[in-house]
Amino acid sequence: MIKKIQSNYRFLIPYLVSFLVPVVIMAAVLFSQGISWKSDRTILASDGFHQYVIFAQALRNILHGSDSIFYTFTSGLGLNFYALISYYLGSLLSPLVYFFDLHSMPDGIYTLTILKYGLIGLSTYFSMVRLYPKLHSAFAFSLSTSYALMSFATSQTEINMWLDVFMIFPIIILGLNRLLKKQNFGIYYISLSLLLILNYYFGYMAVLFLTLLFLVNLAYPNSWKDRLRQLKDFIFISLASGLTAAVMLLPSYLDLSTHGETLSSITSWFNENTFPLDIFAKNMVGIYDTTKFGAIPMIYVGILPLMFSLIFFTLPSIKWYTRSAYAILVVILIASFYLQPLDLLWQGMHTPNMFLHRYAWLFSFLVILLAAETLSRVATISWKQYLFSIGTLFLGFSLTLLFHTHYDYIDLDKALISFAFLIAYAVIFISFTKKQLTYSLVISFTLIFTVFETSINSFYQITSLNQEWVFPTREGYESHLSAIENFVQTAKSQNQTFFRMERVEPQTGNDSMKYNFNGISQFSSVRNTSSSSTLDQLGYKSVGTNLNLRYQNNTILMDSLFAVKYNITTDDPHKFGFTLSDSQDNDSLYQNKYAAQLAILTDKVYKDVNFTVNTLDNQEHFINQLTGLNEVYYSRLESQLLNSNLSINNHVNLTNTNSAGTSAEYKVTIPANSQVYVTIPNLTFGNTSQENVQITVNGVTSQFTTDNAYNFFNIGQFTDQQETTVTLRFAGNNHVSFDTPHFYALNIESYQKAMSKITSQTVSVSTKNNHVLAKYKTDHKSSLVFTLPYDKGWTATLNGKKIPIRKVQNGFMAVDLSSGQGEVTLSFIPSGFKLGIGLSALGIGSFYIYRRHTRTKKKINNLR
């Protein structure tokens, strides 16, 4: 009994090692950058800081019951959170964020990230030893570690949701093998369904690759009858997996098709910045060019796997047509790196916003497969075959150095390290063919060198990632955190109805989601492009593909109209109607007394007004249409540049040899009872790392950001008519240029008249999870206009009876009402979710029936 238990434990040791080694390597590499549990530096580089840790915190809040899995009001006026999950949070480990909070979430992301590297190693080892029974477990371990720490994964560590794909994919390949050879469908069906549910984007790439790999497998010696059977099984089980994943795929597709970006156009046959030696350049140890624009694919997965993948094509024990089929697959992947149409096809005909060639990991995985096939025949490989492979790599690396002008990121030390490992592997395996090394020594040396190589590469990748994107400090992450947390709790305790908050000096585009308050700003690939475009026309900047939406630099009219009841700021915002509500340390909470409800009861049944390129005109027309008024809110003010020598043809050029910055002064005549703004057209900074604007009026200086926000700045509120000097200062810039600024005054009396009419209406709105409850009373036909993004997932009832929802201004929602009082309830279920559940049930049922039919048929055939 004891021996049996010990035997079972010994059986588990290789699996444990395959998990622990990638974990230890990545933990050590991150530690070298000052990153560990509770360390002063966090793992949250680039999108990790601005998106992933915040979305994880939002999921954590949902798991604790503060919001709905379907919808959140904390981003972009409102957001389909279910669609966001499938793109940003699809992970088997995501539920573990439940055990962290806002303060400890960076440690949660760190922990989950290094665990995922271990799970990639484990799943790959598990698959390799079953796919290739003749492969020595030590070689399987070397390959699994190389794959777990491939450059594509380590160079983009901050996007940790991609790691789940690399974890699941080896299991899918094992399942495909079992499907083709044994008609065992379970592993393939479950793992593919899981991948499609967790990550539809990479799932699409995986399905393309699986289709090609299946066609390659048809080239193995087999009868046509078996090939047709394999084709039938592959198609049916793949479709069943797709149907099973429909509960996530269908709502995600409908959201993308409605609110996503348009497909990218093919502008050239070839990708930019390519050169014939890219494959060799990116297979050297530690090579990192960039993960921004202009990058070439991250395909390094180890010199040893690459060496044996080349030998694969010389193996006489594998039929020439099978090798040819694999060669075609390799050529297709390499061609995709160079040809723009193929590159786009792999990525859903959509050009990524940085982090290019997102299918490149499939090349790395294919190298691992070919190397495993070859290593399972290692005893039959001759020195000539080794010489071919090593010689090819040596020549390729040498030519890359010869044309080093195309690869300025290849350092001599990394090139020498690459050659050193290549020579080491050459000595080990050629000595083995000459019987100068025993098989045990070959295995030992291989393990040592591959683990060492992957460790060095991981170190270089993480170091380069830090140099390009910077791993932020915990102090930076927690900046203002305690104060904002307290402000949010205070505001929520004082309000029973819906309200929004916003930061005047933002840290990220997703601050509202980070701190769990309802807000406007947003930075996400999953967004409502229609509402963002409408908000852009109203002054909340969201241009191009609407990836960003920003609250900053707009008017108090829009604050109040969109229910922004609170501003969090370090200075007095100088906004009419905003009074200090709370303060802590250097932060303050200001309350807006004119903020509207989430739903606005209109003067009559609402009809759209035409928006133009003139933001202030759009605001004026919108508010008048809502209220039935005919007020003029904005007027342009007279201004004069005090140093007229700085302006030529209405264009101002500021220069200063002093690095302290530049400035310009304007004399402005300001009317009484006004909120004054200035817009600075075509503002260009000489120092793009310092793009803030300081405005000084009457001895008071305010600072404004231009990061993803319009150059429209608040000068302040004025009770009396006056002529004053406004100083525009651009710190840290010795050269700044812009067109003549325009100064505008918002008439406070008109503003009060409009907002009083809106806030005096009998409307009370509250939200809970994915529901909105609006109680109203009106004595005439009107509309309730909800300042929420229009989405087909919303349904409405009036006193329990279903009523239609209209899209207004191409981005918001409205329901039409008769006179009287009642309760309008809005409920959100993602469009396609219910149908997706039905299709998923159909997929599960189809799989069960097909598998049972196949098993019965096999039993009958075995009895014959």
Q: Give CA–CA dist 552/502, Å, rounded.
A: 9
Q: Is residue 624 part of a domain?
A: no
CB count in 10 Å sphere of residue 46: 22
Express each pLDDT in 712-771 by its tens digit: 999 999 999 999 999 999 998 889 999 999 999 999 999 999 999 999 999 999 999 999
Q: Is residue 858 part of a domain?
A: no
pLDDT of 706 higher than 80: yes
Token pair 């992957």: residue: 454
Mean pLDDT of 499-512: 97
Are 461 and 439 part of one and the same domain? yes
Express each pLDDT in 145-183 by its tens digit: 999 999 999 999 999 999 999 999 999 999 999 999 999
- Strand ranges, E, within 553-592: 564-569, 578-584, 587-592
Token pair 């021996």: residue: 3
Q: Of 423, 550, 773, 404, which is closest to residue 76 (Cα–Cα)?
A: 550
Express each pLDDT in 391-412 by its tens digit: 999 999 999 999 999 999 999 9
Give the angle 609-610-615 at the CA atoms, nearest 5°.
105
pLDDT of 1 higher than 60: no
C-alpha distances in Å from residue 834, one per residue of 620, 729, 770, 797, 828: 41, 56, 15, 19, 12
Question: Residue 284's pLDDT is what?
Answer: 98
Token pair 């010869």: residue: 402
Nearby residues of 392 by Cβ (< 8 Å), 6 or more positions away: 310
C-alpha distances in Å from residue 604, one per residue of 627, 674, 781, 814: 8, 29, 6, 12
Q: Which residue has the higher pLDDT, 645 or 358?
A: 358
Are 590 and 660 part of one and the same domain? no
User: Is residue 566 within 8 Å of residue 592, measured between CB atoms?
Assistant: yes
User: Is residue 279 within 8 Å of residue 399, measured between CB atoms?
Assistant: no
Express each pLDDT in 182-200 by its tens digit: 999 999 999 999 999 999 9
Are 398 and 259 part of one and the same domain? yes
Report residue 785 as tokens. 């206009």
End-to-end CA distance of the chain: 42
Q: Is residue 627 part of a domain?
A: no
Mark residue 39 as left, alpha or beta (left: phi above 0; alpha: psi -120 to 50; beta: remaining): beta
Strand partners, 826: 772, 796
pLDDT of 201 higher than 70: yes
Express each pLDDT in 18-64 by its tens digit: 999 999 999 999 999 999 999 999 999 999 999 999 999 999 999 99
Q: How confident is the model at residue 613 (pLDDT cuts 50, 70, 90)?
A: very high
Q: Is residue 176 part of a domain?
A: yes
User: Is residue 803 within 8 Å of residue 797, measured between CB atoms?
Assistant: yes
In the listed set 566, 595, 610, which residue is the last one of a domain according to the structure? 610
Question: What CATH number does the domain containing 677 carry?
Answer: 2.60.120.260
pLDDT of 497 higher than 70: yes
- How would you class 739 by CB atoms within 10 Å of its CB: exposed for 0-12, middle for 13-18, buried for 19 or more? middle
pLDDT of 659 higher than 90: no
pLDDT of 864 higher than 70: no
Question: What CATH number does the domain containing 817 carry?
Answer: 2.60.40
Mean pLDDT of 255-281: 90
Question: Residue 501's pLDDT is what?
Answer: 98
User: Is residue 109 within 8 Å of residue 59, measured between CB atoms?
Assistant: no
Are 560 and 658 part of one and the same domain? no
Length of the chain, in residues? 864
Express each pLDDT in 332-347 by its tens digit: 999 999 999 999 999 9
In the listed set 732, 753, 774, which residue is the last one of a domain according to the structure? 753
Are 639 and 599 part of one and the same domain? no
Q: Give CA–CA dist 167/296, Å, rounded.
A: 24
CB count in 10 Å sphere of residue 682: 11
Are 44 and 175 part of one and the same domain? yes
Q: Is residue 629 part of a domain?
A: no
Per the structure, the complete domain to which residue 226 belongs is given by 2-469
Domain count, the chain: 4
Please state the φ and ψ torsions of residue 46, each to the nearest 5 degrees: 40, -115
H/E run at residue 248:
helix 246-259
Are 414 and 448 part of one and the same domain? yes
Q: How confident is the model at residue 3 (pLDDT cuts 50, 70, 90)?
A: low
The three-class DSSP label of residue 675 is: strand
Q: Is residue 695 part of a domain?
A: yes
Question: Residue 856's pLDDT is what?
Answer: 87
Question: Residue 4's pLDDT is what?
Answer: 59
pLDDT of 455 higher than 60: yes
Q: In the chain, what is the greatest distance between 2 CA atoms, to the nearest angstrom?
A: 103
Q: Give CA–CA dist 90/199, Å, rounded.
A: 6
Question: Residue 747's pLDDT is what?
Answer: 98
Are 242 and 332 part of one and the same domain? yes
pLDDT of 2 higher than 80: no
Are 666 and 797 part of one and the same domain? no
Please state the φ and ψ torsions of residue 829, each to the nearest 5 degrees: -125, 125
Nearby residues of 448 by Cβ (< 8 Å), 6 or more positions away: none
HSE-up of residue 641 (Cα within 13 Å, Cβ side): 20
Question: Residue 38's pLDDT is what?
Answer: 96
Mean pLDDT of 362-388: 97
Express each pLDDT in 55-79 by its tens digit: 999 999 999 998 899 999 999 999 9
Q: Of 809, 804, 761, which is closest to residue 788 (Cα–Cα)?
A: 809
Are 55 and 173 part of one and the same domain? yes
The three-class DSSP label of residue 852 is: helix
Q: Is residue 840 part of a domain?
A: no
Mean pLDDT of 559-571: 97
Report residue 543 as tokens. 């241009």
Question: Residue 479's pLDDT is what?
Answer: 96
pLDDT of 5 higher than 60: no
pTM of the shown model: 0.94
Please state the φ and ψ torsions of residue 783, each to the nearest 5 degrees: -135, 150
Report residue 286 as tokens. 């530690």
Strand partners, 608: none
Are 515 and 577 part of one and the same domain? yes
In the listed set 420, 441, 469, which residue is the last one of a domain according to the structure? 469
Q: How confident is the model at residue 7 (pLDDT cuts 50, 70, 90)?
A: low
Are 665 and 594 part of one and the same domain? no
Question: Residue 646's pLDDT is what?
Answer: 80
The three-class DSSP label of residue 578 is: strand
Please state the φ and ψ torsions of residue 420, each to the nearest 5 degrees: -60, -45
Question: Residue 325's pLDDT is what?
Answer: 96
Q: Is residue 844 part of a domain?
A: no
Q: Give CA–CA dist 594/755, Å, rounded.
A: 6
Quote the mean pLDDT of the chain.
95
